[in-house]
Amino acid sequence: MKKCCSLLYLIIAAAAIGMAQQEKPIGVFDSGTGGLTVLQAMLTLDSFSNTTGLPGGDGIPDFSGEVYQYLADQANMPYGNYSSVNKVDLLREHIIKNMSFFLGTLYETQTGNTWKKHTKPSVKMIVIACNTATAYALGEIKDFVNAKDNDIPVVGVINAGVKAAMEYQKDHPGTIGIFATAGTVASKGYPNAIKKAAKQMTIPEPSIVSQGCVGLAESIDRDWSYFSDTLTTTRASYKGPSLKNKQLPINPSLLPVYNFNAEKNKLLCEFDTSGNCLEMQLNDPANYVRYHLITMLETMKQQQYAAPLNTLLLACTHYPYLRDTIDVVLKELYDRTTEGKYRYRDVLASHVELIDPAVETAKEAYVEMRKRNLQRTDSAASADAFFISVPNTSLKEMRLQPDGWFTYDYKYGRKAGAKKEYVKHVPFDTKNVSRETYRRFSVILPDVFERLKMCVKGMDAAP
């Protein structure tokens, strides 16, 4: 009898643990706020039956009832630059520390110089809504998470995006453009996945062109080294494309083609006494789009691509924020003439399919959730949480910019294995995420914005 009671207790206890796991939030991770585009896709996805889990929408959001923990590693971004300074080991270390936060039960807040700890639930699934993190650390993430709890699935963005691009290529063969961070491009994660997918689908391997869009994601997240809305003149600390940047040169002969917007300090120039432009720096996300799209097409012209660009993978979760801008610029460039001749029509299709991996990532996450019976069953209201990493001001060695974030040299000058707590994980507020950014969310990510309004103290309800 005692043995039966013990067995019954174990069965009940195991069921309770399983139920607790189901009720936990889903973790969504990115180096910045770009991953919120994936969360928006998850909130609006209706591609499956909520009753059976089988493909086919039923008019009810697939993740209905789920709650989320979002984490932006803003203090350590942009992730795309770590490979260029040979610090991929440091990047992986940052990523694993963020995974540890998801699996842990603590976060912090700061008042003056004092940090206070608070409790939070751990997550039941992790969605890596960051292309660079997926490219460089997906295997390490899965190993780390499985060592802690092998019932927590991990989903990345690269394979999801490639799947959508290849489905289009199957009926519309052409060149696939990979619009990504420099780090994602350097990883070769997308070309390798595209080649593998072509082989599996038994279709010809498409031609590929990659563009490492240094400064684009950073300007969207208002990184000081690439963008500042308070600037009126050029500066030495700028790291993006410019007339003087040999790695990212603005070509003076292409200025009519770039067609940069110079209004309201979106383009910063330095002139000599004769009015000659000595330096030019981008200070607007749309200008970064123009620079990188034209650089990509000029590469295709120089290398004489036979198939025109007809598919563009937005291979950074920040880029869908500028989807309309990218589409408008591509159409403009299709009609661009130089000396009476179309400049890009030999390498650019009249229609370019823009691939946002967010929806495919959301689908993959739903399948993984159902496969492990992790869908939430408790209908009671529960809170989402939005966290961001900020500099740990208790660490005296750190160096900060005027905007309160790490200096570029300190950020990329650190070494892996130092066992230092460089950042703290705190809730979103109106200081660590600007009001202008929230205004952008309200327009582009309305479902995410509604949830943010419930979480962020002091944010205007109607920006």
Please give the pLDDT value at position 149.
84
Whether residue 237 sits in one domain with residue 129: no
Task: Tell me which H or E stretch contains 348.
Answer: strand 348-355
Q: Strand, coil or helix: what is 136? A: helix
Residue 276, domain extent: 160-356
Could you tell me which residues are beta bridge partners of residue 155?
Answer: 127
Whether residue 308 sits in one domain with residue 249: yes
Whether residue 444 sits in one domain with residue 368: yes
Burial of 4 (0-12, 13-18, 19+ CB in 10 A): exposed
Please give the pLDDT value at position 381.
57
Side chain identity at 318, as an amino acid letter? H
H-state helical runs in 310-392: 323-334, 357-371
Domain count, the chain: 2
Whether residue 316 sits in one domain with residue 424: no
Q: Is residue 12 part of a domain?
A: no
Please give the pLDDT value at position 380.
59
The angle formed by the CA atoms of residues 64, 48 and 197, to the nearest 5 degrees, is 120
Burial of 386 (0-12, 13-18, 19+ CB in 10 A): buried
Q: Is residue 405 part of a domain?
A: yes
Please give the pLDDT value at position 382.
67
The tokens for 450 are 């509604």
Whole-structure pTM value: 0.84
Whether residue 310 sits in one domain with residue 236: yes
Task: Indicate the residue among 337, 356, 375 that finishes a domain.
Answer: 356
Please give the pLDDT value at position 275.
86
Please give the pLDDT value at position 460.
61
Which of 410, 388, 389, 413 is CA-nearest to residue 400? 410
Please give the pLDDT value at position 112.
84
Please give the pLDDT value at position 12.
42
Q: Is residue 302 part of a domain?
A: yes
Q: Is residue 246 part of a domain?
A: yes
Please give the pLDDT value at position 127.
97
Please give the pLDDT value at position 215.
95
Whether residue 289 sits in one domain with residue 189: yes
CA–CA separation, 235 and 279 (whole Å): 10
Burial of 51 (0-12, 13-18, 19+ CB in 10 A): exposed
Whether residue 325 sits in one domain with residue 411: no
Count Cβ neighbours within 10 Å for each residue of 137-173 and write b for 16 or more, e otherwise. bbeebbebbeeeeeebbbbbbbbbbbbbbbeebeeee
Please give the pLDDT value at position 14.
42
The tokens for 16 are 């309770």
Task: Indicate the residue among 308, 331, 356 that finishes a domain.
Answer: 356
The tokens for 271 are 């002139």
What CATH number is associated with residue 217? 3.40.50.1860
Q: Is residue 1 part of a domain?
A: no
Q: Is residue 8 part of a domain?
A: no
Whether residue 106 sits in one domain with residue 45: yes
For the chain, the first-to-last Cα distance in angstroms comes to: 65
Whether residue 280 sits in one domain with residue 165: yes
Q: In Å, how far are 163, 170, 195, 198, 207 from 204, measured between CA atoms?
A: 15, 9, 9, 6, 9
DSSP sequence for 175-244: EEEEEE-HHHHHHTHHHHHHHHHHHHHT-PPPEEEEEE-TTHHHHHTT-TTT--TT--S--TT--S-BSS
Whether residue 233 sits in one domain with residue 103: no
Q: How far is CA 2 from the centre of its chain?
A: 55
For residue range 428-438, what is the model confidence (pLDDT) as tens digits?
999 999 888 99
Give the pLDDT means over successive 10-residue stretches in the chain (463 positions): 44 47 95 94 96 93 95 94 93 97 95 92 96 94 93 92 94 96 92 94 95 94 90 93 96 96 94 91 97 98 97 94 96 96 97 94 95 84 89 93 92 94 96 90 94 84 44
Please give the pLDDT value at position 4.
43
Whether residue 267 sits in one domain with residue 210: yes
Count Cβ neighbours within 10 Å for each residue of 431-446 and write b for 16 or more, e otherwise. ebbeeebbebbbebbe
Q: Is residue 315 part of a domain?
A: yes
Which of 383, 368, 371, 376 is CA-nearest to residue 22? 376
Which residue spans within 223-308 are E strands per DSSP?
267-271, 277-282
Q: Is residue 9 part of a domain?
A: no
Task: Indicate the residue among 305, 332, 356 that finishes a domain.
Answer: 356
DSSP 8-state assignment for residue 171: H
Whether residue 119 sits in one domain with residue 61: yes
